[in-house]
A and B are shown apart, each in its own frame.
Chain A
């Protein structure tokens, strides 16, 4: 599997399925090309660009650039040979990968799925995109709460993360005597346009509508807030509304605080950490996992400790 790429992948029952973003570029080649050609008029630069790329690109790198080949490589390495789907679209891709995998298990299309994502932060071709947004934190690392808002250049620190989950129906897990880490009660995604009154805060509130009656006092929040000023404030507002409406809210953990923001991998990683936390003796009764995309996409999941120490529904 290529060491550097971003994306989210999801696997399914005796079959593979996945979701992803773009892969690595040849940074040195890109820099050499723009250094030589940027100042030339298009008529001159076009043919020279072809010449430099034809001489400089390598076939192996192309394969690392195709989003779906993360899932393809997982199929090869882990022998996942059923279906394989690769979703694209930043944070939402990771969240919808989980939602759709869970929906397929719930309707009986297979008993087990592999779902997750990976993102590599420490590359200029990746950072360039988020630099454009103006939302990256400048200067030294600081706790999320202390990061400057958009006025000071944004508060997002990216993080390299790979996170995959095995989702399994209870009967499938029981048949192979597997212990469940946690039970996935609900997962839902939303799409606020984030203009006017169509806010991310309201979108998340609509998602929580169906699960509000399921919330129990002391539920923990595993927040995927990115640190990007706007959506992070929206998420804080949503959590405050939720706290005010009750029941009593337990501890709130921001995964980007320790891992950085991992885009496609963010939601799967938060889910994985929540599942692990719920397996501990002093665990809260539930974990509400949130995901607020930097640009678009809201996601929520509710997890509970595995009943009878066994698998998901």
Chain B
């Protein structure tokens, strides 16, 4: 039986519940089954008009009622729905024994995109302010005075607060954003809270719901998105020679983290462990990595060191693998720098679910745990023309059987915020 303290004397952090919402489906079983089957969740966008968009495909999660009354549901509402669905599944998995008086006895760490005023609200305020002529912001503000519900919908803390009420989490909910590393950061915050004894359990969520016209246009302006609109399922091509950008996607993952000792004491099923976290900020450029890969390499190495391991102990890497020419090249550089001439297999979930942005780090951490549980590496699909510059085993096209004890999960963000997690298989006994 492994100790309940790690190599630094900190409590070992167990994962006792997980929940998923992905473009492959609602729920862990459907998402994981789709991933192992090499199924793509990328499709043509139907939820809103795509006229004049350069990219018209996405890993959109369409729930019933999402396009009610023809008007787009605001992104923050969708973020909250996905987060709540994932959290419900995670808490059900952790078992009723974790609740105290029906409430979750720990903090909420929520990784999510910034909340923006929805166009539907701006239009509504403009109609209220309407005088037939040009509408100015001042008139919209005047027209909106006292709209408490709209006010709460615009607050950055609103989603976290409503989830905290719903699940009865303790203390102030912490909402955070580290761009594409957000989901991993939310887990890291929970791990640290348990490690320093501030909490015995934590609910960590990464959620994304911003597949909408303005976001697509913004990413297109940065030339970040794939434009293979004619063949959605084949558009996301991480590590492949003809890759031309990432595919926006959405969804959520929730993890119940728990002090291993407590989890054992209450007889909980431990799905796996979070052994280490590493982070490094890049000071080079707002959207590009330093060509020396220093921050990526540093984040990977510090996660492995934080887990008390050596690179050789890692059996599989869950890639950031966005499918942009730049990311995949830099990630390859990082892999070779950290693991040398014999890097472990690495595959990109994003080849099937797209880039779920603020949710990605959390979704991919859950997939990493399932990889170890089932002894199966999910593939990187759409691997047709190998890129000679990518000298890695990317588990092309088909899932592979492999017994893995430790997984490194990479998340690299715009703004240079890089977070890596080391996850471990459930301890025996």
Residues of chain A within 8 A of B158, CB atoms compared: 295
- Distance from A37 Cβ to chain B, minimum over Cβ atoms (Å): 7
Contact with B along A19-39 (1 / 0, CB 8 A): 111100001001111110111
Residue A124 at the B interface, CB < 8 A? yes
Contact between A21 and B126, CB atoms less than 8 A apart: no
Closest A residue to B149 by beta carbon equals: A132
Would B49 and A189 count as touching, CB distance under 8 A? no
Q: Check B70 against A189 for contact (C-beta < 8 Å).
A: no
Q: Which residue of A lies closest to B290 (CB)?
A: A81
Question: Taking the complex as formed, is B399 at the interface, i.e. its CB lies under 8 A from any CB of chain A?
Answer: no
Question: In whole angstroms, what is the CA distance A51 to B217 when docked?
Answer: 10
Between A22, A131, A134, A189, the greatest number of chain B beta carbons within 10 A of the residue's beta carbon is seen for A131
Say whether B176 contacts A86, CB under 8 Å.
yes
Does B2 make an interface contact (CB < 8 A)? Answer: no
**In the assembled complex, A125 has its CB within 8 A of some CB on chain B:** yes
Q: How far is the CB of A267 from chain B (nearest CB, A)?
A: 12
Find the A residue at minimum CB distance from B10. A107
Are the CB atoms of A129 and B117 closer together than 8 Å? yes
Min C-beta distance of B194 to chain A, whole Å: 12
In the complex, the answer to whether A189 meets B156 with C-beta atoms within 8 Å is: no
A128 contacts B165, C-beta separation under 8 Å: no
Q: Mark A60-93, 1 if CB is under 8 A from B, else 0.
A: 0011011111011101100111111111111011
Tell me if B48 is interfacial: C-beta within 8 Å of chain A.
yes
Task: Check if B167 is an interface residue, CB within 8 A of chain A.
Answer: no
**Interchain CB contact under 8 A, A89 and B144:** no
Q: Is the CB of B157 within 8 A of A57?
A: no
Contact of A66 among B49, B172, B217, B415 (CB under 8 A): B415
Judging by beta carbons under 8 Å apart, are B177 and A73 in contact? no
Select which of B142, B161, B198, B220 is within 8 A of A296 by beta carbon: B161
When the two chains form their complex, are residues B53 and A50 in contact, meaning their CB atoms are under 8 A apart? Answer: yes
Taking CB atoms, residues of chain A closer than 8 Å to B52 are 47, 50-51, 54
- Is A124 a contact of B137 with CB atoms below 8 Å? yes
Verify if B322 is at the interface (C-beta below 8 Å from A): no
Q: Does B388 contact A (CB under 8 A)?
A: no
Tell me if B286 and A67 are in contact (CB < 8 A): no
Q: Is A217 an interface residue (CB 8 A)?
A: no
Question: In the assembly, what is the distance between CA of A297 and CA of B157, in Å?
Answer: 9
Residues on B facing A (Cβ under 8 Å): 48-54, 70-72, 112, 114-117, 119, 122-127, 130, 133-138, 140-142, 144-148, 150-152, 154-158, 160-161, 164-165, 171-179, 182, 185, 189, 192, 196, 198, 213-214, 217-222, 279-287, 295, 298, 413-417
Q: Given A57-B217, A86-B417, 15 other A-B contacts at CB below 8 A?
A: A43-B70, A50-B53, A62-B218, A63-B286, A63-B414, A66-B414, A71-B178, A71-B415, A75-B281, A103-B196, A104-B192, A124-B138, A129-B151, A132-B151, A295-B158
Identify 30 residue pairs between A and B in the complex whose beta-carbon atoms are under 8 Å apart, listed by A's number. Answer: A19-B176, A21-B156, A32-B134, A34-B125, A35-B133, A47-B51, A50-B51, A62-B218, A62-B221, A68-B179, A68-B182, A68-B413, A69-B414, A81-B282, A84-B417, A88-B112, A88-B114, A88-B176, A92-B157, A95-B172, A124-B136, A124-B137, A124-B138, A125-B137, A127-B137, A128-B141, A133-B151, A153-B145, A293-B157, A295-B155
